[in-house]
Amino acid sequence: QVGIAEEGEGIVETRMLRASEVQELMGELETQRETSAAPPTAPPPAAAPPTPPASTPPPAAPPSTQPAEPKPSVPIQPETTPPPVKMATPEPIPAAPPPKPRMPDIAARTPSPAATPAMPAAKPTPSSIPEIGSILSTFPDPAYRQDPQIIGIVNDLTNLHTEMAQFNSDLDAVRGRLESEVRDYWNVAEVKRIHFESIEEQLRLAKQEWNDSIKVYQQAEKRMKNEISSREKRIKDIEKRIQKTEGTIEKRVKDLDKEKERQAVSQ
């Protein structure tokens, strides 16, 4: 790029030389080299094309009838192939280093998470429990349902059924959790046993680990039996109370029938 003073404007603008101007400059440069050439034994040094000063206009362009407008500083593609110009070679972009090989993760056995307690559900109504609904449907008189004693007994029966449902759900959760835990410990014991049988040089250590795992497995199995047994006993207890409560309702219904008959006779 050189400074070019446009005619009639008085403004020096920096723009790219045209192809014809480049060829003229190269021709003048070759002429100067021929006239000032050194002896044949010393090759002339390669000189860069001199850059004309900003105040020196380039060779006159063909006259035009209109004043030249300022040219944007955008390189114009030459019509003919210009002499080869040494361009700055861009630095190569370093390639990203290959990722390091990642060691495979060894899955470690983690204990089964404890079952999170469920949020308390809404209290069921007597009509939503089939057992209570079947009892209420046997009343000869629907008005018996409004008896204060029957209302209290039905509420107690509803609470008992709700408690039994909660214990059944807890029993299922505990059974699943403990069975999974026992199965995990049994698998560990089996792995240790195979390790003991296959590696003779580590016989003592592997056998000790196997025995320790068997002890843990037996303790877990014993704890499972105790917890399940206690919950099953509790459920049987509730079942007996339910039967007793149902008998109380039947007895009360009979008493109400007798009282109703006495009132009918007295009238």
For the chain of 267 residues, list the mean pLDDT of each consecutive stretch of 10: 50 61 77 65 50 46 46 47 48 45 39 48 64 72 78 83 89 92 92 80 79 93 93 93 91 90 85
Q: How far is CA 207 from the centre of its chain?
A: 42
* CB neighbours of residue 17 within 10 Å: 19
Give the type of residue at 156: D
Alpha-carbon dihedral sign for residues 123, 129, 131, 134: positive
Residue 236: beta bridge partners?
none
* pLDDT computed for residue 213 by the predictor: 93
* pLDDT computed for residue 4 by the predictor: 53
Give the tokens for residue 93: 């972009």
DSSP one-letter string for 117-153:
PPPPPPPPPGGGSHHHHHHHTT-SSGGGGG-HHHHHH
* pLDDT computed for residue 151 by the predictor: 80
Going from N- to C-terminal start, the domains of the chain cover 2-33, 126-266
Measured CA to CA, the distance from residue 75 to residue 18 in angstroms comes to: 9
* pLDDT computed for residue 104 by the predictor: 37
* pLDDT computed for residue 236 by the predictor: 93
Give the tokens for residue 233: 């006993």
Question: Which residue has 């089996």 as its token pair?
Answer: 190
The separation between the first and the last C-alpha atoms of the chain, rounded to the nearest angstrom, is 129
Give the tokens for residue 210: 């196997």
Asked if 25 contacts 17 with a C-beta cutoff of 8 angstroms, the reply is yes
* pLDDT computed for residue 36 by the predictor: 64
Judge if pTM exceeds 0.75. no
Going by C-alpha positions, the residue among 196, 214, 216 that lies closest to residue 206 is: 196
Supply φ then ψ for residue 225, to 5 degrees. Answer: -65, -40
Question: Could you say which DSSP state residue 39 is in?
Answer: -
